[in-house]
Structure 1
Amino acid sequence: MDVTLAYGETRLSVDLPEGTTVVEPSFHPGAPDQAAYLREVLATPVSGPRLRDRVRPGQTVAISMCDSTRPQPRHLMLPAILEELEGLVDPSDVTVLVATGTHRGNTEAEIRAMVGDELADLLRIVNHDARDRDSLTWVGELGAGVPVWLNTLWVEADVRITTGFVEPHFFAGFSGGPKLVAPGLAALETVLTLHDAARIGDPRATWGVIEGNPVHDDVRAIAAATDVTFAFDVILNRDHEIVRAFCGDILPMHEAAREAAREIAMREVDAPFDVVVTTNSGYPLDQNLYQAVKGMSAAFTVVKPGGTIICAAECRDGFPDHGSYREVLASAGSPQELFDDISARTETVPDQWQVQIQAKIQSQVEVVMHTSFLSDEQLAEAHLRQTDDIGATVREICERIGPDARVCVLPEGPQTIPYVAATVGA
């Protein structure tokens, strides 16, 4: 059977055995007039007054938005906000903060691609830098002992607005909402604590779980304690079109958004599989191996112990080369050694969060990659192997297992999160 996988900016066709279980999001068409739909949503918040009723003339505004690794429709969301604030706030008093977390800052060209030339020329757009202490303000110890430093431009603004999109997240439960404050605009020290080995190693730090998830419990606590004025999130389909949008007070807004995302993105299956083929949702999420851990993690939820995950991710940005991710991956003789080493540490560096999860997966199942920009030798450094033909590799594994081999494919990767039993929390 022919299945089309999300891959880079195009798609990848693979021939899989008949009877393969295909798990993908229920498709919802985008709103016919995306801009008009966003204006309607801003007029009817989930909770609290509309944005223009929360702002006084002359106030300064900071808007947090996702970085270039996320397909947020910033070019539609930002104009909707500016229109809502027309007559109250001058564009010169608006600062847009790219919520990079610990990622690299976006280039001028990337920012223009994200928001368009008109907005790039109109607005002050600043990359958050988690490592620049001079650009951060101490706001206190919040949640379960998290030392919180946030971007000073955010803290000092009169009005603080988060914008993002909501989908299941592999250890924070769901993206969007309060994550646009921390880790998005937080200091390295803050993020290291939020994502330490104890928190992300907790079994409740997983797809779709919010309450009792030690990562998201603290993320929500930080947002609640630091006076977010207004929050605005969307849910996207596989074509990155807006299918739903939500706004208002940040925590009630995010609760409504994640329930809608759960309905669209999470799918129950009857039993685990011997082979799970997955992707990393195509560009921009599959631009490096670091991000591809999300696709592996989605597959890991339904693969048998000792089974095989085959992950198709273009990886045009390599490992990537910035940061210590590649170095850490190559620092031990096996995935199990890596996992044990990182789990034993009380402090880690950002790249090790992803390595810890990747090492946990690789120590329990075989992971095979299909990429266009990483060589066999480079993948071997990460204890991975490559296949040029996904369908042939699946058939080889099935022949080895026998006629009862079970195969699953996630064409959209972590846009769909399968689970074996109805144990996903709220």
Structure 2
Amino acid sequence: MSCFKLPYGKERMECCIEEKHVAGVLLSQLHNYKPEKSEDELVIESLENPIGTPRLRDMAEGKDKIVIISSDHTRPVPSKVIMPHILKEIRSNNPEAQITILISTGLHRETTVEELRGKFGDEIVDNETIIVHDCEDIENQISFGKLPSGGDFSINRLAAEADLLVAEGFIEPHFFAGFSGGRKSVLPGVASKATVMYNHNSEFINNKNSRTGIIEGNPIHNDMLYAARAAHLAFIINVVIDAEHKIIKCVSGDCDLAHRVGREFLSSMCQVDAIPADIVISTNGGYPLDQNIYQAVKGMTAAEATVKKDGVIIMVAKSVDGHGGEVFYNTFKEEKNLERMMRTFLDRTPEETIADQWQSQIFARVLMKAKIIYVSDAPDEMVTDLHMIPAHSVTEAIDKAKQLVNRDDYQITVIPDGVSVMVIE
């Protein structure tokens, strides 16, 4: 038997499969990479050797209003390690700087104080100015005209009026932007709702280059990079993390040049060849990325790239927060015909994009290729409404998958962390 411990919330869920049925395991080499330096040393070294810019402390000299964009509660960025070094670097040359940490929620819900304490620690929460971005607060947004694709471009006033705009984040494979991090801190991070909606339109999502690990010709990335430049994002500190959310690589400097170095490192660790199988097991890497079904679509796309047509995907994601998007949920609850749903998405103009449409579009695409058995703590009725089959253990899910496949020689591909791999078809 081959046994796997799959991340499930903050715990692990075990599954065992007979050897003859294991087609292969798609595992990022990030899990095996051991840097020679500590997390703190990696961040300090990166800040001392930025790519394409002066040191942050020199850029901060004489600046009055400095804004640091930081990821929200849905991203496992180790800010407890990174943020103290950023603050120290800025204040080493500008001790009187007015620093604001701006939480880049994009279209997500507001980050709670408890979540901020978990992310930064009590000292930073109690002593620093932290503002949570609200994409619908039009009065506190500044227009920058149009994106190259034609959409209106507005961002949070704090970011727009900063004397120095900095961003902290992490780089991982992203299922339609190619990679997370870098330019994404601005768009969607601190952009207006209308700007994000336009950027995530159905034509862009349907583009063959809007896929995991692809930057060239990716229209979503192109708008995002333009937005970062237009907003004068001057400096980024981005990390690559392993399965334990520990920093194994840190890049600092220009929002594109530094990001390129980070994503090149990530690609060298994460690219894996597809191993086609009747059944594919995937996860969303555990907490915090598997808090809801909406986010779990990301891990499903890794399975989509290697599951056989009309096969079965077993998605393991705790989903203690339920569906994660009211419009996302109702879209599937109210429409049972996936082809008709997809036509509706593709017929909408960019200006007509609705909330969560991009996630719904990608989810529908996955569902049109394979049945999905969803292992979670979410209510069974909710999972069923979302066109999936509920299960509460991987063993139960495999039993259900075997019945659906209905063949004795079925093969299973296992993806222990679906958000850390880039599956090449």
Q: Given the two structures, how large is their TM-score scaled by the length of structure 2?
A: 0.94
Give the aligned partner of residue 168 of structure 2: 163
Give the aligned partner of residue 25 of structure 2: 22
How many Å apart are 1:337 and its aligned residue? 2.9
Give the aligned partner of residue 172 of structure 1: 177
Provide, for residues 73-106 of structure 1, a one-character-per-residue CA deviation record: whole Å limited to 9, x for no partner. Answer: 1111111111112243347600011100010110
Point out the more displaced range, 41-50 or 184-193: 41-50
Q: Distance in 2 between matches of 1:81 and 1:398?
A: 51
Is residue 234 from structure 1 mapped to residue 230 from structure 2 by the alignment? no
How many Å apart are 1:334 and its aligned residue? 3.0
**Residues 31 and 242, structure 1, Cα contact 8 Å, conserved in 2:** no
Q: Distance in 1 between matches of 2:335 and 2:400?
A: 29
**Residues 91 and 123, structure 1, Cα contact 8 Å, conserved in 2:** no
How many Å apart are 1:401 and its aligned residue? 4.7
Is residue 353 from structure 1 mapped to residue 354 from structure 2 by the alignment? no
Is residue 210 from structure 1 mapped to residue 215 from structure 2 by the alignment? yes
Matched to 2:313, the amino acid is: I
How many Å apart are 1:375 and its aligned residue? 2.2
Is residue 123 from structure 1 mapped to residue 133 from structure 2 by the alignment? no
- Which among 364, 368, 371 is matched to residue 366 of structure 1? 371
In angstroms, what is the RMSD of aligned CA positions?
Answer: 1.7
Aligned to 2:91, the other structure's residue is in SS state coil
Aligned to 2:296, the other structure's residue is in SS state helix
**Residues 334 and 383, structure 1, Cα contact 8 Å, conserved in 2:** no
**Residues 62 and 96, structure 1, Cα contact 8 Å, conserved in 2:** yes
Give the aligned partner of residue 311 of structure 1: 315
Q: Distance in 2 between matches of 1:396 and 1:323?
A: 28
Point out the more displaced range, 170-179 or 297-306: 297-306
Q: Distance in 2 between matches of 1:91 and 1:36?
A: 26
Give the aligned partner of residue 13 of structure 1: 14
Q: Distance in 1 between matches of 2:27 and 2:152?
A: 39
Aligned to 2:312, the other structure's residue is in SS state strand
**Residues 91 and 122, structure 1, Cα contact 8 Å, conserved in 2:** no
Give the aligned partner of residue 405 of structure 1: 410
Provide, for residues 364-388 of structure 1, a one-character-per-residue CA deviation record: whole Å limited to 9, x for no partner. Answer: 210110002x122221111111123
Matched to 2:312, the amino acid is: T
Aligned to 2:7, the other structure's residue is in SS state strand
Point out the more displaced range, 151-160 or 79-88: 79-88
- Which among 323, 326, 330 is matched to residue 329 of structure 2? 326
Matched to 1:124, the amino acid is: T
Aligned to 1:377, the other structure's residue is in SS state helix
Aligned to 2:67, the other structure's residue is in SS state strand
Matched to 1:9, the amino acid is: K
**Residues 309 and 370, structure 2, Cα contact 8 Å, conserved in 1:** yes
Identity among equivalent pairs (%)? 33
Is residue 244 from structure 1 mapped to residue 244 from structure 2 by the alignment? no
Distance 1:403 1:323, change over 3 A: closer
- List alignment gaps of at least 5 residues for structure 1: 421-426
Trace 1:182-331 onto structure 2 (pairs within 5 A).
182-269=187-274, 271-320=275-324, 323-331=326-334
Q: Distance in 2 between matches of 1:70 and 1:357?
A: 20
Give the aligned partner of residue 138 of structure 2: 133
Aligned to 2:233, the other structure's residue is in SS state coil
**Residues 13 and 394, structure 2, Cα contact 8 Å, conserved in 1:** no
